[in-house]
Structure 1
């Protein structure tokens, strides 16, 4: 009989809706207090669930009374412990070695470099390693933790002054360095399983690092028949050739497209992409990335992705926290807005903490990448103008306007 342990992160995931056949056999430990938990076999909101070992302890204790048939997670920070649990329980799925190869960015690039171009990189054991690496590179150097996500704690060293400033920070033992790659950043999002394949490509509106200098973030979908979209899908396949992959997995791949028309790996994760990526995918293709992954991982059927190109694609922009209380409009005056939502959990004076930090977001629709980019920028400019004109402390307290029309 199916019995599933779930280590959850997403704040709005509805497991009963995604897995109705086995709702009463789901044992869910969640980083967030989820809104729909009725009918679950077990649910517990665990503060800091992704970083404390409590969920793993409890799942192991539960398994002593009755074995689990599946252990699943969609959260990058839980991949390794979910793999560890599966191995100890004798359950099929992603192995610990595979999880590590997608989590540790040095191991990731060592593996991926067998089949695709990567930036030069090095694990940093000491500050001397960083000095030596910078001396070997002709341009800027990126320093980041090997297992962090969301562009957190990333530093770009562009010269001696940046190196000197970095030397005044406390040293961390989990750092790597890689050469800075000039180019446009794309992302490829996929769910691949036996008998199922969905792949979609998008361009980031701006570099994810721009969030720390006050630049809003977003994504612009490519049409699947676009030549570059086909190249990116082929690049994903070449990357995965180098890895030990599970029978069922989601992937979020980030790729540099250089001025010389070369594709270079940035990173790949074996999980669903974050921020607005699932919403964009659902809007264009009708594919629920989280639901598809979880259902296939639990051996449940899913509909095949659409075989024909979509009639329209979508793009998004997330407006950064402003560091001061602001009032946001209730809606946007554009007929092509697909969704507009205010972040109900953000403190009025919050500052950006990672690449998914947002005060609000808007999703737009259009015929192709060029049209949605123009509309995204128009929506962004309008929202920013409203923020400058109305800087008081009143603002909506929850999500507003889905399927927004003026």
Structure 2
């Protein structure tokens, strides 16, 4: 009999809606307090669940009473733990080796580099490793933890002054450095399974690192029939050819488009993309990325992905916390605004902590990438002009 352990991160995932035929066979351990949990077989809210071992201990204990058939997660930080539990319990799904190759950015670059171009990089044990890399590669460089996400704890060093400032920060034992790559960044979001293939490509409105200098973040979808989208999809396939991949998985790939028209891997993760990516994907294609990957991971059917180009594409922009109390306006008064949402949980005076931080966000639609970008910038300008202290 089906018995599914769920390590949850997304605060809005509705598991009864995703698994209507198996709701009472879901045992959910959640990082966030979820709604609509009454019909679940088990539900526990576990604060900081991905940083404490309680959920893993309980899953192993519960397995002795009623064996689990599947272990699933939507949380990037739980991928390795979920894989380890599966292997120990003899369950199907992503292996520990595969999970680590997508989670550890240094291992990721080593593996992916067999198939596609990557920036030059090195692990950092001490500050001397960093200065040696700089002596060879020069500025600018990016220093980041190997297993973080959302642009957290990243530093861009452009000069000796930046290096000195970085040297005053608490040293971490999980750092790597890589060359800074010029050019816009694209992201490819996919769900791949047996007989199922969905791939969508977008371009970030601005660099994800720009949030730390006060620039709002977002992305605009490409039309799937465009040459750039097809080129990015081929790059995804080449990248994955170097990895051990599970039978079913979501992927979030980030790619630099260099000034000489090259494509260079930034990162790839075996999970659904964050921020507004699931929202705009659902709006354009009618595909819920989480539902598509999690149901297939449990051997359950999902509707086939669309085969015809969409009537319109979408984009989103997230307005950053301003570092001071502000009053957020209502929705921008434009007919092509498809969704507008204010972050009611944000504390007054909050500052940006990662690339998904937001005061509010706007989703717009358009016929193509250029029109979506034009409308996003107009909506962004309206919101920024109407923020009141």
Distance in 2 separating the partners of 1:203 and 1:270? 19
Is residue 2:110 matched to residue 1:110? yes
- Normalising by structure 1, what TM-score? 0.95
1:233 correspondence with 2:228: no
Question: For 1:269-308, what per-residue CA distance to the aligned partner results, in whole angstroms no more than 9, with x for missing partners?
Answer: 0000000000000000000000111110111100111110
- Structure 1 moving runs of 4+ over 4 Å: none
Q: CA deviation at 1:323?
A: 1.4
C-alpha distance in 2 between matches for 1:382 and 1:28: 41
What are the equivalent positions in structure 2 for 1:186-265 lying under 5 Å apart?
A: 186-265=186-265
In structure 1, the residue matched to 2:179 is 179
CA distance in 1, matches of 2:51, 2:231: 37
Matched, 1:350 2:350: yes
Aligned counterparts of 1:138 and 1:127: Cα–Cα separation in 2:
15
Structural mapping, 1:364-383, within 5 Å: 364-383=364-383
Gaps of 5+ in 1: 392-406
Q: What is the CA distance between 1:170 and its match in structure 2?
A: 1.7
Number of matched residues?
A: 389
Partner of 1:399: none
Matched position secondary structure for 1:328: coil
Residue-by-residue CA offset, 1:130-173 (whole Å, 9 max, x unaligned): 01001111331110000000000000111211111111222111
User: Which residue of structure 2 aligns with residue 94 of structure 1?
Assistant: 94
- 1:21-73 deviations in whole A, cap 9, x for unaligned? 10000000000000111210000010011111111111111101110000000
Measure, in 1, the Cα distance between the counterparts of 2:262 and 2:350. Answer: 38
- What is aligned with 1:166? 166
Determine whether 1:31 maps to 2:31: yes
2:56 aligned with 1:51, yes or no?
A: no
5+ residue gaps, structure 2, are none
Supply the distance in 1 between the matched residues of 2:168 and 2:28 (Cα, whole angstroms): 43
In the aligned structure 2, how far is the partner of 1:186 from the partner of 1:11?
26
How much does 1:328 deviate?
1.6
The residue aligned with 1:396 is: none
Q: Pairwise mapping of residues 9-88 of structure 1 onto structure 2 (< 5 A)?
A: 9-88=9-88
Work out the CA distance in 1 between the residues paired with 2:87 and 2:56.
Answer: 13
RMSD: 0.6
Shift of 1:330: 2.3
Q: Secondary structure at the match of 2:335?
A: coil
What are the equivalent positions in structure 2 for 1:388-403 lying under 5 Å apart?
Answer: 390-391=388-389
CA separation in 1, counterparts of 2:261 and 2:330? 42
Q: Which residue of 2 aligns with 1:302?
A: 302
Q: 1:279 — aligned with what?
A: 279
Partners in 2 of 1:346 and 1:171 — Cα distance?
A: 29
Deviates more, 1:112-121 or 1:136-145: 136-145
1:75-104: per-residue Cα shift (whole Å, max 9, x none)?
100000000010011001100000000000
Match of 1:331 in 2: 331
Spell out, residue by residue over 1:199-246, the C-alpha distance to the aligned partner (whole angstroms, 9 max, x if none). 000000000001111000001000000100000000000000000000
Equivalent residue number for residue 400 of structure 1: none
Structure 2 CA distance, aligned partners of 1:299 and 1:373?
38
The separation in 1 between residues aligned to 2:349 and 2:168, in whole angstroms, is 28
Cα distance between partner residues in 2 of 1:12 and 1:345: 14
Please give the alpha-carbon distance, in whole angstroms, between the structure 2 residues aligned to 1:21 and 1:359. 37
Distance 2:91 2:99 in 1: 15
Separation (CA, whole Å) in 2 of partners of 1:241 and 1:295: 24
Cα distance in 1, alignment partners of residues 171 and 186 from structure 2: 31
